[in-house]
Chain A
């Protein structure tokens, strides 16, 4: 016997066909979106014409005519007499990258230290770490930047009465000035030694890892790395007869001459960003360590590992998997938050380019677009790097 199938189903209504509906909805959205964009563009064109502004990037070649940064803190050698808005852009970009890199390094250290302290069994240490983390996390970053700048650094003595630290480092309400190194002939060898140290450490670590995998013998990789990366260059430095001099700052008249000056704006922004982001990273680190199941620690103890080895071999590697993604977004946040520099006048890209150049030229669309493009690129680069790193530490499953 065969089963007869009768096609009693009526042909479905076109409106109930998911494919048709998806296409129709998209067409509607695209039409709305395109007409919205067209509407905005036509409005903008009318408005720009009325204001007498011509769109385009020619303004980048025009002389800026203002000094975006203080002469003592001029990383790109900006020359007010001839440099253009494009140079302002580069100056801002360099300063943004500088504060982002400094902040990321310092915030990572602060975050890891306080994240571990927060787990301390000593209730006093625990309380201090918690007070720092909660206090800093719950106050706006902008307020913290202003407090560091106006409340702390500007309250320091004036230049003439700078705080003197061993006649080498001077701190006043405008800058911190420290001896600047002068590299003489032959210092290149020290740099080469440093690079050789890093490369050698890399290969040594691989070899040590392999040997431990095959024979079980451990190798004191930490101390040998220390020796290779720091000890070896120092030996070379001494062997070359220390080809290094220091330019020691000196008070002459109303200012310090020589040395390297770190402006209060940079210091305030650096401190605020470091402690603010550090408090978030600390919480991520704590969460990561707590996420490693207690059974792992117990199993390590059962195998006879000491607490330090348990931490470094069992807990930390597993915690890193949990820690890396949120810390990545903290790095991104720090980079974006460095734009708050505008509040205290640190010459980052938002301050000098999106602030002063925009005010001078009125090219709102071009300038805001370029600035946003910079942040987009930085964000993409950081997340690409951290994704690569995350893949390395991620759990390899079946």
Chain B
């Protein structure tokens, strides 16, 4: 007799097969899903096995951390000679800037970072104070701190300072009145004048510090100065050029702007730097002399401005025509239209573009080493051709590559973060 089997309760769910879950499942799905994926995985493991141990050995295990010259390095180990970086650290950071003045660029950098934090991250307070300070006050402060007073004796007398202060107060007053009566041109002129006067007073007065020579600037300091001045000049000039390029009612201005932007953008930076180096002195009137750093700054800033103009133009083109028309119909004039309606929207769109242009410019500062400025790259090159540190090019290059990478990579991550923040459309 047979007995019927009737199940009276549910069988509990079985776990997925062992090959489909846990580490094994993940491996099967990701690393070994097809034959070519498996092959790629194995090849990569093999390459990592070949490459990683020597790299670790070179940077850490057989590296020499303390040495007085390359012979000691060679004797002590076959790896990197970090002792050279240690001994030449100040050269890498400041060039020949006097040691007793190191606090000045340091302070400038600290002020910058502190003022920048609220601008970068929304959660921190004080954005409304820090952003205008960075744009208007900071360049003057940085110049005064790093450079010290510039020889302009007439500004430094008490009368001179009094005149400048009076002019400054007048300009600010004019700017304010201008805004109230919507007299935009007056307001613009007033604020611009106030800014320049502040700048000149700071530059000539220099916080009472001892002046420094520009040809002593070097290393990371010079790299950051070039990048900083480049961006500070490029952004306003780039906005002006971009606006000029779109000013269809003024064909001559349009033509000049297009000509400038396109010519600069289609030639290599090195030729612009050569031009600044060899042709700028010819353009200057007799007796007026620019030093090397100043010439490079001029060339670099003009170059940066042309690229920035194209980025800003992208933002202007993205603003719908209705916005311009709406502003016109409200009776706003061109200046107010730009300041209140168009530029805030356009610049917000292109912030990621501006950041990536800035990364490009930061990397491009290394080109000044070709025209003989002692930036980070040239300091590295001088290091391994120095009689004491011959043949240590790998150490020097790896060190500065890491510096460049850290700065550029963090900027590009920040730009991606911004893109995500500003991207409000649909995401997959």
Contacts and interface: CB of A to CB of B under 8 A. Distances in A.
Nearest to B270: A339
Contacts of B397: 143, 146-147, 150-151
Contact of B263 (A123, A368, A376): A376
B274 A336 contact: no
Given A125-B44, A138-B409, A379 B367 contact: no
A26 B250 contact: yes
Interface string A110-127: 000000000011111100
Interface of B: 30-31, 33, 37, 40-41, 44-45, 249-253, 256, 263, 266-271, 274-275, 278-279, 281-286, 359, 363-367, 369-370, 377, 381, 393-394, 397, 400-401, 404-405, 408-409, 412, 428
A244 B362 CA distance: 51
B243 to A, nearest CB: 12
**Which of A33, A40, A139 has the most C-beta atoms of chain B within 10 angstroms of its own C-beta?**
A139
A190 B360 CA distance: 46
A337 B360 CA distance: 12
B40 A124 contact: yes
Given A47-B286, A123-B31, A340-B268, 18 more contacts: A25-B253, A26-B253, A44-B282, A46-B286, A50-B286, A125-B44, A138-B412, A140-B364, A140-B365, A143-B366, A143-B397, A342-B370, A343-B369, A343-B370, A364-B279, A372-B263, A376-B266, A379-B267
A364 B278 contact: yes
A336 B267 contact: yes
B31 A358 contact: no
B283 A143 contact: no
A239 interface: no
Closest 3 pairs between A and B when the two form their complex, measured CB to CB: A379-B266, A138-B408, A364-B278
B401 A147 contact: yes
Nearest to A378: B266
A267 interface: no
B282 A122 contact: no
B271 A371 contact: yes
B327 to A, nearest CB: 14
Interface of B is mostly: helix
Contact of B408 (A139, A151, A339, A350): A139
Interface of A is mostly: helix
Nearest to A374: B267
A340 B367 contact: yes
22 contacts: A30-B252, A44-B283, A47-B281, A120-B40, A121-B33, A122-B37, A122-B40, A123-B31, A138-B408, A142-B366, A147-B397, A336-B266, A336-B268, A336-B269, A337-B268, A340-B270, A343-B369, A354-B274, A375-B271, A376-B267, A379-B267, A380-B266
Interface in A26-51: 26, 29-30, 33, 40, 43-44, 46-48, 50
A137 to B, nearest CB: 8
A339 B268 contact: yes
Given A138-B408, A140-B404, A368 B249 contact: no
B216 to A, nearest CB: 23
Given A125-B44, A138-B359, A151 B394 contact: yes
A67 interface: no
Given A340-B270, A340-B367, A376-B266, A139 B401 contact: yes
Contacts of A358: 274, 278
Contacts of A252: none
Interface of A: 18-19, 22, 25-26, 29-30, 33, 40, 43-44, 46-48, 50, 120-125, 128, 134-135, 137-143, 146-147, 150-151, 294, 332, 336-337, 339-340, 342-343, 350, 354, 358, 364-365, 368, 371-372, 375-376, 379-380
B363 A139 contact: yes
B212 to A, nearest CB: 26
A339 B364 CA distance: 13
B30 A48 contact: no
A332 to B, nearest CB: 7
A125 to B, nearest CB: 5
A162 B193 CA distance: 67
A342 B44 contact: no
**Which of A122, A146, A365 has the most C-beta atoms of chain B within 10 angstroms of its own C-beta?**
A122
B30 A122 contact: yes
